[in-house]
Structures are given as structure tokens and as C-alpha cells.
Amino acid sequence: MDKTGQVVLEMKGITKSFGAVRALGGVDFELRRGEVMALLGENGAGKSTLVKVLAGLHAPDSGDIRIDGKPFALGSTKLSHAAGIAVAEQEISVIGTLTAAENIFLGGVPFRGPWTRRRLAARARPYLDAVGLGHLDPAVPVERLAVAERQLIEIARLLATDARILILDEPTAALNDSDIEKVKAMVRRLADAGHSIIYVTHRLGEVFEIADRITTLRGGRSSPAVNVSDMTLDKVIEKMIGRPLEEMFPPRVSKPGAVVLEMRGVTSRALPLPQDLQVRAGEIVGIAGQVGSGAEALLRAIGGADVVESGFISVDGTRFPPAHSLAEAKLRGVGYCSSDRKLDGIFAELPVSANLVSPSMDRVAPGGIVSRRRIRSLTAELSGQMAIDPGRAGYKVGALSGGNQQKVALGKWLGIGPRVLLVSEPTRGVDVGARAEIYGHLRRLAEEGMAIVFSSSDIDEVRGLADRVIPMYRGRQVRIADPDRITSQELVRDITHPEDEAA
């Protein structure tokens, strides 16, 4: 592979501010022909702002941009299109009821005259081939395809716009292992065919497999691109968070008490293999696993979001009724925060106070009659515990930052006096500063005697926060490990290809 292709995109000293917030504070970026450039950084580091500048959705405040060595002003989607830049958004945006060919040409049909399915299919064929979907009937409705195939269709759509610079924003975030392989193979193939690819991802493992170089962003600033071959996982992480990993996480105060949560032989539709788990008071257990590994399904089963089909769960020795509901789990002191805050964690359109008291209507409405005084005092109590600005009690939660939203989603459970807190992806969509804060809150709650179980696809989060680590792979707990005795590499291997499953 020719790694010394000419520079197709060069950015120097790009800045972009939103009000008082400086999202980009002088970013340099370089992209060569035929290379895969990984763009890494924590949430809030400026990745999405940089992507939006390239997409033409944000105009930069200052800085030079050159395309093929010539100065070029980005600032509208039209200009980005003219520069040959195309972006595949994080959320797959194909239209299910339309066919593969129709989706590829959503932006415009590449021929004059009547639009027939046959002509469209013929034109779509080369693009389908390019993304490795050559076997696909262009006339098949996209809703019948697998998620990974939809993702590939989305990328084929970018190719149909004659883009040379492709920006893929977390293309594998929603995919399972075998699908991820398809996308990675396609990325490599496109690069070898001369496309330049900016690959944004949180899965650092992927970077080492497909990227040529890495640009890291931190706090809106870039560090010079480095060759992947010169880097290790730990060096990349340190570049991203700007400090050794350990400082992110609160110290462990290991003095676990009695067993609070116990599950034996539990199965659900998403968890066909029986699961056992014991969590003691004061303990934080971290379940590591990718989407579909069963890590989140384990929490859903305990919390009552998924129906438990066999086995039993008990809290403080009291068994749950079979196939318990969310309300029954809550009654027994279990709070469950899903990984999708906006979907079922918060009422975005309602004020902070309404969100905080929502699981605790018994407390604020004794006898069914709401007491404003009780709402106020419970709001104050929970805001205080989670360090939520009490002045914002009346503001809509949807208008707060991701970190504050997450504090509300967690804090609302404290009103029921929980014994067990289940948190899926505790810091998804939360910026760096708030992440450390949320880790601190979880640790403090554990110290106060709660049993905490969280699931995460972020290896470092699991290692840094948990007292015990349980990697999961395809619905199986691979092992129970001491976080100090397992390396990130071992954990990554456990959740992707555990040794005893090597095929």
C-alpha cells in the first residue's frame, strides 16, 4: 500500500466557538489520498464539531482549508459537496420502504428521462459492488436488509455523490461482530481504491486493524497525526484523555458488606444461557461487552425491562415474583438506567424537578394528592446528592448538557431509596469532565451501601470503575476478574474473541 499519497485535504488552525464555548481551538488536520485516518477523542473533544465543519454544517471562525493544495472555503453543504466530501452520520439514515437503488440515489438521479426501476438498478450496481454488496438485488426494500447492510448502503450513497473524502462517524456503533468485519473490509477496500477516509470511532481496537494514521483531539485541540504502527493502545488512550487513565476514576474503597443482589440461573429471550450473579453492598460490578453480548440484557432482566423466563432474582434475600415488571423491581429497591437516556431515561420536555420525582410519586403524593412542598424538598435533596444546580429545577432536562442529563437520569432513582442501581453505559454522550464526576457519584453511592451493576462497551471505564469485572461474549460470562489483574488487551480479547472460542 502506498502510504505517501498526495495530500487531498489540509486544515490549519481551525477554530470554532459557540457563544463562550470554544469547541475547536486551533485544529490542524491532514488527509492523504488512499489512507484511512482515525479521528479519535473523548466525548466533547471536538470530533463532531470538526466533522460538521467538514460537512459544511458549521462554518469555521478562522483557519485555512486546502483541497488538493488549493485554498478552499468550506461553510455550506454545497461547498463540501463540491470539495468531494461526504459524511455518513452516526445514525443510519436510509429510508426503509425504498429500495437499495432508490436509497443510493436519494440525492438525485444520475440520468435524464424517465425513472424506471431497471435503469436505476443498473446505475446502482457499481456502487453496490464497491461496498461489497454486489450480491444484492438493487430492487430490494432496504427495511429487509440487516443493519450492517443498511450501513453499507448508506456508504454507497456517499460514493454515488462522487465523494473522494468519506467521513464515517462511528459506522460500527450499532453493529455486531460479524457485521463490523464487513464494514471494516469495505473501508479498507475503498481506501485501496483511492478514496480517503476519516474514520471516527470509540472502538480503539478497530483503529489498529484498519487505520493508517491517527489524529487525536482533546479539548478542541489536535495533536499531530501519528502512524498507527508507532502506537499502542495505552499511548492512544493517554493522548485522548491527556493524563494517565487512573486519575479519571475514584479510588476503590473495598469493604463489601452482605450480599444484596443475587441471581441464579436467570434466562430471558435475550439471554438464553442461564446467568448467575452476586453483588454485595458497597460493591460496583462492571459487565463489559459489546452490543448484543448480553451485558445490557443482564441488567434489563434484573430491572424488569425484559421478562425473566426462568431462574430467580432476589434483593436482600427476598425473591422477586416470576417474570417481574419494572414496577415490581422498583418496589424492591432496584433502579434501572438504560443505555439510551433519551429513549426511556428522561422526560426531555419536562423540568428537572418533575424528572427527579417521577419514580417517587408515593413520596410526593401521599394518598394520591400531590404536595408541592414535598416535590420541592425531594428535588432539593436529590439535586444536592447529584450536584445538580438547584437553580435549574424548572428547566427542561432536554436543554441540559449530556452530563447533567445523565445526573438527572441517575439521581431520580435515589428518591426510592434504592438497594441496587443498574446502569447501562453510564457515561454515553457525557463529556470528559462530567464523566469523572459521574464515576465519583457512583462510587459514593456504593460506599453508602448500595450494590451497583453497570454494563459498558468501554473497556477502560469497566476496568477503572468496577471492583469486579465480568466480560461477556455472546450471552456468556467469560470470567469474573479482578480489574487490577486483567489488562485492557485481555479484556478486549474476552469481549471480542475469547480464547476458548477461537475458531
Contact residues for another protein (CB under 8 A)? 18-21, 23, 44, 305, 326-327, 329-331, 336, 338, 343-351, 354, 358-359, 361, 365, 368-370, 389, 392, 394-396, 398-404, 412, 430-431, 433-434, 437
**Torsion sign across C-alpha atoms 200, 204, 209, 211:** positive
Q: Please, which residue, 23 or 85, has the CB nearer to another protein?
A: 23
Residue 174, C-alpha cell as written in the block: 450499532
Nearest approach in angstroms of CB 371 to another protein is 9
The answer to whether residues 357 and 326 touch, using CB atoms and an 8 Å cutoff, is no
Residue 305, C-alpha cell as written in the block: 425491562
What distance in Å separates the CA atoms of residue 433 and residue 18, rounded to the nearest whole number? 18
CA distances (Å), 302 to each of 234, 247, 258, in order?
34, 31, 19
Nearest approach in angstroms of CB 49 to another protein is 9
Cell numbers 480489574 correspond to 483
Nearest approach in angstroms of CB 502 to another protein is 38
Nearest approach in angstroms of CB 198 to another protein is 22
Rg (alpha carbons) of the chain, rounded to whole number: 24
Q: Please, which residue, 36 or 298, has the CB nearer to another protein?
A: 298
Q: Please, which residue, 91 or 389, has the CB nearer to another protein?
A: 389
What distance in Å separates the CA atoms of residue 32 and residue 52, rounded to the nearest whole number? 20
Nearest approach in angstroms of CB 434 to another protein is 3
Nearest approach in angstroms of CB 18 to another protein is 5
The answer to whether residues 475 and 308 touch, using CB atoms and an 8 Å cutoff, is no
Nearest approach in angstroms of CB 493 to another protein is 33
Q: Please, which residue, 114 or 368, has the CB nearer to another protein?
A: 368
The answer to whether residues 289 and 473 touch, using CB atoms and an 8 Å cutoff, is yes
CA 109 to chain centre: 34
Q: Please, which residue, 156 or 430, has the CB nearer to another protein?
A: 430
Give the DSSP per-residue string, 478-500.
---B-GGGS-HHHHHHHHH--GG
Q: Please, which residue, 172 or 404, has the CB nearer to another protein?
A: 404
* 188, containing H or E segment: helix 177-192
Q: Please, which residue, 129 or 349, has the CB nearer to another protein?
A: 349
